[in-house]
Structure formats: C-alpha cells, structure tokens
Amino acid sequence: MRKARLEAFSDGVIAIIITIMVLEIKVPHGQKLTDLLHLLPIFLSYLLSFIYLGIYWNNHHHMLHVATHVTGAILWANLHLLFWLSLVPFATGWVGENHFAPLPLAVYGIVLLMSAIAYYILQSLIIQNEGSDSLLAKAVGKDWKGKLSPVLYLLAIGAAFFSTWISGSLYIFAALIWLIPDRRIENMLKKEDRE
C-alpha cells in the first residue's frame, strides 16, 4: 500500500521531468533546415538525458519491485533522489544551449553524480531494511555499475575543462553500461519462481 504510493509519486515526478525537458527544445521561428539543424545540440543532450532518466526509472522500478517495506527514511531518501533528478532538465538545457561548453558539461556531471549518490543512499536504506539475506541484497550483489558510474562522472567533470569531446563521450559511455540488460534482479526473480 505505502509502497504503491511511493512508486506512483516517483513515476509521476520522473514522467514529468522526462517530459518537461522537451520544452527546452523551443520551436524555431524559421521553417528552414538550418533552423532545425541549429537545434541539434539541444536535441542530442535531450536524447542523452532521456536515456539517463529512463535508466533511473527502470532501476527504481526493479529495486522497488523487490522491496517489501517502506519507512519514513526511505520516503525522504526517495525525495532526495527526485530532487537531483529534477535538476536534469536545467543541466540538459544549459549544455544544449551552449553547444557542450566546459562549465555546463561539468555541471551536468555534478547533477548526475549527486543523483547517483542519492540512488546509492536509497538503495542502501532499502537493503538495510530488508536484511542482507533479502532478494534485493543478493540481486544488487557487487553492483559494479553503481560503483563505476560515479567514477566516470568524476572523470567527465574533470575532462570537461580540457576536452569536451572526452567529457561527452564519458557521459555516453556511462549511459551505455546501464543499457546492457541488467539481468541480476530478473534472474533472481526467475530463480525464486523455480524454487
């Protein structure tokens, strides 16, 4: 019951964040191809952020799926995560409007880094609540993706001031490692079903 409402609220906030980002792609006044091409950096940064938010929604979905209890601390850790995610449209718009300039790219990374930390806190609280023998604890396991991502964000933040290409590539790479299907929880669930 309480979990259902936490999920519904998170779904709502993430759905709105993902959708208002598109408002940054402002309708051009002209009607030529150059008017459209001018929007390319904004479109690309939108695409990347859409994928990031999709990853968060997906992971959030899986994590809550195996959680059984929701405490007050978990509610606040979840709001903390949503706070940082809510800044993604701002960072995305800034990156896009400035054609991947150094400082916007670094700020983008800071928002991603803080989101990753917030997610880690939420995950830790849920695991602590569920117990180390829980389905979630086993499923998360060593969580190499969760540990590698913040390192990549840190590298990308630093790289932004030397090469925006390297920085941008690191953000793309950090997204791609999450797109590789994460069969951990799915496998655990199938195993449980079989037993």
**28 vs 151, which CB is nearer to its own copies?**
28
Whose CA is closest to 139, among 191, 70, 79?
A: 191
What angle, rounded to 10 degrees, do the helices at 72-86 and 40-66 form? 170
**83 vs 151, which CB is nearer to its own copies?**
83
**4 vs 151, which CB is nearer to its own copies?**
4
Rounded to 5, what percent of the chain is helix, strand, coil?
A: 80, 0, 20
Residue 155 beta carbon to its own copies: minimum distance, rounded to whole angstroms: 21
**35 vs 151, which CB is nearer to its own copies?**
35
Residue 5 beta carbon to its own copies: minimum distance, rounded to whole angstroms: 6
Give the residue carrying structure tokens 């790289």.
Answer: 159
Question: Who contacts 136 (Cβ-Cβ below 8 Å, separation ≥6)?
Answer: 63, 66, 67, 123, 126, 127, 130, 185
Residue 83 beta carbon to its own copies: minimum distance, rounded to whole angstroms: 6
10-24 burial, b at 16+ Cβ within 10 Å, e below that, comes to beebbeebbeebeeb
State the residues that interact with its own copies by CB under 8 A.
1-2, 5, 7-9, 11-20, 22-25, 27-29, 31-33, 36, 47, 50, 54, 57-58, 61, 65, 71-73, 75-76, 79, 82-83, 86-87, 89-90, 93-94, 97-98, 101-104, 107, 179, 181-183, 186
**71 vs 151, which CB is nearer to its own copies?**
71
Residue 67 beta carbon to its own copies: minimum distance, rounded to whole angstroms: 12
